[in-house]
Amino acid sequence: MLAPSDISLAQTARLDAPSITAQTLPPLLHRDVACIFQRSPEKLFELVQRSGSPLHLVWPHVLRENIEGLRAVLRKHDLHFEMFYGAKANKSQALLQAAVEASVGVDVSSIYELGAALRAGVDGCAICATGPAKTRVFHAALIGAGSLIAIDSREEFDDLEALARETRADSPTRVLLRYRPHASRTSRFGMTVDDLLACLHRLAISRDLFRFEGFHFHLPGYSHQSRVDAIAELMPLVQAARALNLPLRLLDIGGGLPVRYVESARFDAFARAQRPSDYRNGIVPSRFYPYGGRIGAADWLEQLLTSPLMPGLSVEQYLNRQQLTLALEPGRSLADQAALSLFRITRVKSLADDTFVVFAEGSSFSACETWFASEFLVDPILVSCSHGERPGIVPSASPVRAYIAGHSCLDEDVITNRLIHFQSKPQTGDLLVYANTAGYQMDLLENEFHRHPMPKRISARWDDEGRIETFPDQTQGVPEWS
């Protein structure tokens, strides 16, 4: 992964200008993603011209690289492990297909995600369903596919047991029990220790209906220590399950592996320097995603595995001694750097105080952080159409400040409230390219407001001659465009 300075992309500010450096957050870029700005910026304009704005450009091979990065850590520790791609992180079928081709399972939270996973070719037994509000139809489809079902509550246990008795499948229904860790005691997800113990006893007398495989939990935030604590809390329950002669094999810790979007030092400087005048609405958000985290997913996983559960016993040692398979359900971290989102500029309007508003052809529903009273704190890359010249990164000039607005009639339809520092004034026809949007950012809230069509997705790769090839997101066959 490269920082913009490594690839001469001082795209949103003159990085040698001390007065604005602390207010700019250029993205970290994967080497192959960065190459499109170096080699083929005109290709971005061609794709938008053909497919519209906004346009999402996905890089399936980057997801496969992220999978291998986590596998390397797990293999280093000689652990039995299973990995499930969190399909909810992105609706791209090409990314889902890439995960399946990399021989990982899929974590699904709806019957629609289940259908997409099966269309991608995953075996039903490599699917894990963890959503808390599964319908009867969803349960039935999971049982039919032989998938693993994480039971979220005693009520769900009742529903699943009734369905299992009714259907009498050829083999017992595979289940996990979802635990609610102490760190999430107010959460509506998962079960208390008492509920888990009650479910274990029910499983012990229902072996013809259920095959118990282990425990599951999912925690918010990115603290590896909270996962260590949750595993420690489950240790007595592991013993209780084994005392009932239940064939426990799996400990599923969910997702929540961190992603780094910008350089840590730059993010820290930004956090110290921001003030109300840096936002078009005069409001500094009270919280941000940790865009400038210190570590990525692989280092986080290393820290988790080597952390002590008790003196002299690390997580890795405990799992191996108990002959437990560690399951992970990463979503955002597997999609790290796997997409760009392109917005075409339709108009630039002058405002008071020497600021501007840049109208993008697209809405904040395709860049969703402002709808959560926060900001996507990654500066867009401004790619100039050059008015007939070869497109490229905007050359150095006097910087301007502007916020980015969507094309709807809603005053709050803003892609960023933050006033972005551009090194040159954007122009109609230029592109704003947001990096690293595959992890929830680009499609969590997308819709057809004002009857605009849903943004298209195109998957991309570089061929052996260094030319970019693009494909419809639904397929990975012969290139449609080159």
CATH code of the domain covering residue 106: 3.20.20.10
| 84 and 28 within one domain | no
Write the CA distances from 335 to 32, 110, 374, integer angstroms.
Answer: 14, 19, 21
**Residue 4 DSSP symbol:** G
Please report how many Cα atoms fall inside a 13 Å half-sphere around the Cα of residue 408, on the Cβ side: 18
Q: How many Cβ atoms sit within 10 Å of the Cβ of residue 477?
A: 8
Q: What local confidence, expressed as pLDDT, does residue 445 receive? A: 62
- Report the C-alpha gap between 60 and 474 in whole angstroms: 12
| 303 and 399 within one domain | no
- Report the C-alpha gap between 205 and 193 in whole angstroms: 19
| 204 and 82 within one domain | yes
Q: Which two tokens stand for residue 192?
A: 């208390």
- Report the C-alpha gap between 361 and 223 in whole angstroms: 37
Provide the terminal-to-terminal Cα distance of the chain, rounded to the nearest Å. 25
196 falls within a domain: yes
If we measure between CA atoms, which residue out of 464, 467, 343 comes closest to residue 415? 343
Q: What local confidence, expressed as pLDDT, does residue 457 receive? A: 92
| 53 and 64 within one domain | no
Q: How many Cβ atoms sit within 10 Å of the Cβ of residue 312?
A: 7
10 falls within a domain: yes
- Report the C-alpha gap between 178 and 417 in whole angstroms: 39
SS3 of residue 215 by DSSP:
strand
Question: Are 275 and 284 spatial neighbours (Cβ–Cβ below 8 Å)?
Answer: yes
Q: Which of the given ranges, 5-14, 59-68, 167-176, 453-462, has the highest pLDDT on average?
A: 59-68
Write the CA distances from 1 to 174, 436, 458, integer angstroms.
Answer: 39, 11, 22
249 falls within a domain: yes
| 238 and 130 within one domain | yes
Q: pLDDT-based confidence at 394, cuts 50/70/90?
A: low
290 falls within a domain: no
DSSP secondary structure letters along 358-426: EEESS-GGGSGGGGGTS---SPPEEEE-GGGS--EEPPP---EEEEEE-SSS-TT-EEEEEEEEESS--
Q: What local confidence, expressed as pLDDT, does residue 11 receive? A: 36
Q: For the chain, how many structural domains are there in total?
A: 2
Q: What local confidence, expressed as pLDDT, does residue 22 receive? A: 61
280 falls within a domain: no
Question: Which residues span the domain enclosing 307?
Answer: 60-260+295-328
Q: What is the pTM of this model?
A: 0.90
Q: pLDDT-based confidence at 449, cuts 50/70/90?
A: low
The whole-chain average pLDDT of the chain stands at 88
Q: Helices (H) and strands (E) in the chain — how many of each?
A: 13, 20
Q: Which two tokens stand for residue 86?
A: 């969190």
Q: What local confidence, expressed as pLDDT, does residue 393 receive? A: 62
| 172 and 38 within one domain | no
- Tens-place pLDDT, residues 109-159: 999 999 999 999 999 999 999 988 899 999 999 999 999 999 999 999 999
- Report the C-alpha gap between 415 and 230 in whole angstroms: 37
Asked whether the predicted pLDDT for residue 7 surpasses 70, the reply is: no
Q: pLDDT-based confidence at 57, cuts 50/70/90?
A: very high
Q: CA 28, 85, 69 angle in degrees (round to 5)?
A: 50
Q: Where does 146-192 have alpha helices with state H?
A: 154-167
| 8 and 96 within one domain | no
- Report the C-alpha gap between 53 and 47 in whole angstroms: 9
If we measure between CA atoms, which residue out of 371, 386, 345, 382 comes closest to residue 449? 371
| Burial of residue 479 (number of CB atoms within 10 Å: 0-12, 13-18, 19+) | middle
Asked whether the predicted pLDDT for residue 361 surpasses 70, the reply is: yes
| 163 and 304 within one domain | yes
If we measure between CA atoms, which residue out of 285, 305, 307, 303 comes closest to residue 295? 303
β strands within 52-172, DSSP E? 55-58, 81-86, 105-108, 127-129, 148-151
The amino acid at residue 163 is: L
- Report the C-alpha gap between 231 and 314 in whole angstroms: 11
Mean pLDDT of 243-259: 96
265 falls within a domain: no
- Report the C-alpha gap between 330 and 258 in whole angstroms: 9
| 353 and 243 within one domain | no
| 308 and 390 within one domain | no
Mean pLDDT of 13-23: 44
β strands within 275-375, DSSP E? 308-310, 313-314, 325-328, 339-350, 355-360
Give per-residue burial for 442-473: e unless 16+ CB within 10 Å, then b: bbbbbeeeeebeebbbbbbbbeeeeebebbbb
- Report the C-alpha gap between 78 and 36 in whole angstroms: 38
Last residue of a domain, one of 328, 352, 385: 328
Last residue of a domain, one of 328, 348, 380: 328
Asked whether the predicted pLDDT for residue 305 surpasses 80, the reply is: yes
Mean pLDDT of 368-395: 73
| 87 and 31 within one domain | no
Q: Provide the CA 466 distance to its chain's centre, in angstroms.
A: 28
CATH code of the domain covering residue 446: 2.40.37.10
Q: Which two tokens stand for residue 378?
A: 């990654």
pLDDT > 90: what percent of the chain? Answer: 71
Write the CA distances from 222 to 244, 252, 261, 398, 436, integer angstroms.
Answer: 34, 16, 14, 39, 18
287 falls within a domain: no
| 9 and 100 within one domain | no
Q: Which two tokens stand for residue 220?
A: 């918010």
Find all residues with CB under 8 Å of 462, minimum gap 6, and list them: 32, 35, 468, 469
Q: pLDDT-based confidence at 481, cuts 50/70/90?
A: very low
Asked whether the predicted pLDDT for residue 31 surpasses 90, the reply is: yes
Which residue's entry shows tokens 């061929």?
A: 463
Out of 73-82, 313-322, 378-387, which region has the weakest mean confidence (pLDDT)? 378-387
Asked whether the predicted pLDDT for residue 447 surpasses 70, the reply is: no
Which residue's entry shows tokens 């450009």?
A: 57
- Tens-place pLDDT, residues 308-354: 999 999 999 999 999 999 999 999 999 999 999 999 999 999 998 88
267 falls within a domain: no
Last residue of a domain, one of 282, 305, 328: 328
Q: What local confidence, expressed as pLDDT, does residue 476 receive? A: 43
Q: pLDDT-based confidence at 415, cuts 50/70/90?
A: confident
- Tens-place pLDDT, residues 201-245: 999 999 999 999 999 999 999 999 999 999 999 999 999 999 999
Q: Which two tokens stand for residue 441?
A: 């950012």
Mean pLDDT of 396-418: 80
Stated as kind and residue range, the H or E segment containing 212 is strand 210-216
Q: What local confidence, expressed as pLDDT, does residue 413 receive? A: 77
